[in-house]
Amino acid sequence: MNNTTFMGMEIAMRGLYSSQRGMANVAHNVDNVNTPGYSRQVIRQEAARPLLVANSAGMLGMGSDVVGIDRIRDTFLDEKYWSEVQYLGEWEVKSTIIDEMQAIYNEPSENGYTKIISDFYSALQILSTDPSSHSIRAMVMEKGVAVAKYFNSVAKHFDHLQEDLNNMVNAKVSEINSLADQIRELNLQIYNYEVMGNKANDLRDRRTLLVDKLSKLINCSAYEVETGLRLPNGEMETRFVVTISGKALVDHEEVVHLKCESRKDKLNFEDINNLFEVSWEDGNKLHVKSGELKGYLDMRDGNDGLMGLNGEKSPDFKGIPYYQRKMNEFVQVFARTFNEGIIDADGDGVLDKISGHVDGYTLDGNQGIRFFTMLGSDGKPVSSSDFETFLLDYAAKKGIVDDPDTDYDERLLAGYGLLTARNFSISFDIESDPVNNIASSTQPDEAGNNENLKSLLGMRHNPYMFTEGMPEDFIKTLVSSMGVDGQQYMQAYKIQQGITSQLTNRRDAISGVSLNEEMTNLVKYQQIYGAAAKMIQTFSEVLDILVNRLGL
């Protein structure tokens, strides 16, 4: 009896071990079929080292060995996914936020601007038919309050939304830092495991999933860098690096966090206080090019590329500051026109002076009353005279002072820059005594004179009040422009959604677990196991005959 018989048992035993490893790998794949980020694993099986036959007849095969378990992954698809999902995150945020902004305008509706301004001018029209009516004057005052409060409400909601976006910026920065820390910990675990020649497949899956999440938050790149050293299994030692705009967020075991600091100065005049500026923790400037963080920053700071108050250019995007600025522009022009009668009356681009509310006479014969002013520091409307003082003081701060080259109207015109949608209000004079202080007449002591009201009503249909046309045209243009932007953002989002879905499907086709395939493999390994067991049983019977029966 030679060693060939025992070699056969050894080969069969290797078959048992290989099939056992294969079935265990199938079980691992099936258990993780729904695990996010999991990559299908396959055993790497090779022929065992053959044995040289003594009589020089050749080499005798020794079965097979499982030399490793490979993680099925396409690096190109991963990098492609990371480069596309960042834009998905950006446009998803922008399309969601602009929907919220459109809801703030509440147009068209029974409570929107068109209905409110129409009711105000309708009340003025009714008053023109009976200028001495006390009840109609009170109604005009109430409708004026509704106009002012509409703009106050829109501005207030924009402020709240900007604050919410600011908090989201802070939350996203914290999330980015947390993901960076988790990637660093996985880097160390993977390195400590693989430096001994092993494969950390499951840990690598967890790290790839973290990069998937990170790439949706901010533009990042992730790759492995060879160090030049060789591991015991013959592979090159690598270090994992994650960068943002070329600067390393994670460099193997080193992490540089991002930080949020409150701005010392506002970027935009329309901004609320204490908005966060995002930068690297080591003080370097951060360049955010895409991702959810980019979406929140653009919607929070975007002012159509205007130069900011702190000397930096605002994002070239129409965010909350842009729409706040447009609302401020409306109330400034509208109030200036209604109060002072300063308007481009004939479309030649030169402002003219016609009869405004200050030019009319009240029931008690007074003149110079402004219908619209602003809210004071106490939250109450200021008087017409105090408002005039504020306007002239504001103009002086802007460098427009009372001198022979500057007329009164020019100073007032500049002073209306003080008025915003936040502080827009009817005057204290109108609120406290609408009966006597609404100026309807062009002559004193003529209760039935409605000529000044006709002048005020005529302003509504002046196509040159705004670049966009009449007051309603301005708001309609603003709302429709926002609607068009919203459609573009949603279109961009759906395009990116389609691209990333396609990449996800391609990655799943390669790395995902197919239950049909795994069941096929299970049957295959089961049959191999049974065949190997049968071989061992056969060799056992042969040995029994040789040892126990052959000599009988």
Domain locations along the chain: 91-164+327-490
What pLDDT was estimated at residue 404? 60
More confidently predicted of 406 and 46: 46
Is the pLDDT at 552 greater than 60? The verdict is no
pLDDT band for 60, please (50, 70, 90 cuts): confident
Which pLDDT tens digit goes with each residue over 504-513? 999 999 999 9
pTM value surpassing 0.75 = yes
Question: Is the distance from CB of 82 to CB of 496 less than 8 angstroms?
Answer: no
Q: Average pLDDT of 156-161?
A: 96
DSSP 311-370: SSBPPSSB-HHHHHHHHHHHHHHHHHHHHH-EE-SSSSSS-EE---GGGSB-TTS-B---
Name the strand (E) or helix (H) holding 490: helix 471-511
Question: Is the distance from CB of 165 to CB of 97 less than 8 angstroms?
Answer: yes
What pLDDT was estimated at residue 405? 61
What pLDDT was estimated at residue 98? 95
Q: Average pLDDT of 97-113?
A: 88
What pLDDT was estimated at residue 56? 67
Please give the single-letter amino acid code of residue 285: K
Name the H helices within 226-319: 292-301
What pLDDT was estimated at residue 448? 86
Classified as helix, coil or strand, 381 is strand
Is the pLDDT at 496 greater than 90? The verdict is yes
What pLDDT was estimated at residue 203? 96
Is the pLDDT at 317 greater than 80? The verdict is yes
C-alpha dist (Å) from residue 47 to 15, 84, 243, 345, 490: 11, 42, 42, 94, 56
More confidently predicted of 383 and 353: 383
Q: What percent of the chain has pLDDT over 70?
A: 97
DSSP 499-515: HHHHHHHHHHHHHSPPH
What pLDDT was estimated at residue 403? 67
What pLDDT was estimated at residue 234? 72
What pLDDT was estimated at residue 379? 92
Q: Average pLDDT of 49-61?
A: 75
Query: Residue 291: left if φ>0, alpha if ψ -120 to 50, beta else—which one?
Result: left
Q: Average pLDDT of 537-549?
A: 82
pLDDT band for 529, please (50, 70, 90 cuts): very high
Q: What percent of the chain has pLDDT over 90?
A: 70
What pLDDT was estimated at residue 350? 82
More confidently predicted of 387 and 48: 387
Query: Residue 52: left if φ>0, alpha if ψ -120 to 50, beta else—which one?
Result: beta
CA 325 – CA 194 distance, rounded (Å): 57
pLDDT band for 389, please (50, 70, 90 cuts): very high
Is the pLDDT at 523 greater than 70? The verdict is yes
Q: Average pLDDT of 133-156?
A: 95
Please report, to the nearest 10 degrees, the dihedral formed by the alpha carbons of residues 261, 266, 272, 273 taken in order: 50
Is the pLDDT at 394 greater than 80? The verdict is yes
Please give the single-letter amino acid code of residue 352: D
- DSSP code for 307: B
Mean pLDDT of the chain: 91
Q: Average pLDDT of 10-38?
A: 93
pLDDT band for 199, please (50, 70, 90 cuts): confident
CA 12 – CA 3 distance, rounded (Å): 14
Q: Average pLDDT of 56-61?
A: 74
More confidently predicted of 249 and 10: 249
Please give the single-letter amino acid code of residue 547: V
CA 461 – CA 469 distance, rounded (Å): 9
Neighbours of 82 (CB within 10 A): 21
C-alpha dist (Å) from residue 95 to 136, 299, 483, 487, 491: 44, 10, 11, 8, 9
Point out the least confidently predicted range of 138-147, 272-281, 351-360, 425-434. Answer: 351-360
Is the pLDDT at 43 greater than 70? The verdict is yes
Which pLDDT tens digit goes with each residue over 338-360? 999 888 777 787 888 888 999 99
Point out the least confidently predicted range of 98-107, 246-255, 297-306, 349-358. Answer: 349-358
What pLDDT was estimated at residue 237? 83
Point out the least confidently predicted range of 195-199, 289-293, 312-316, 493-497. Answer: 195-199
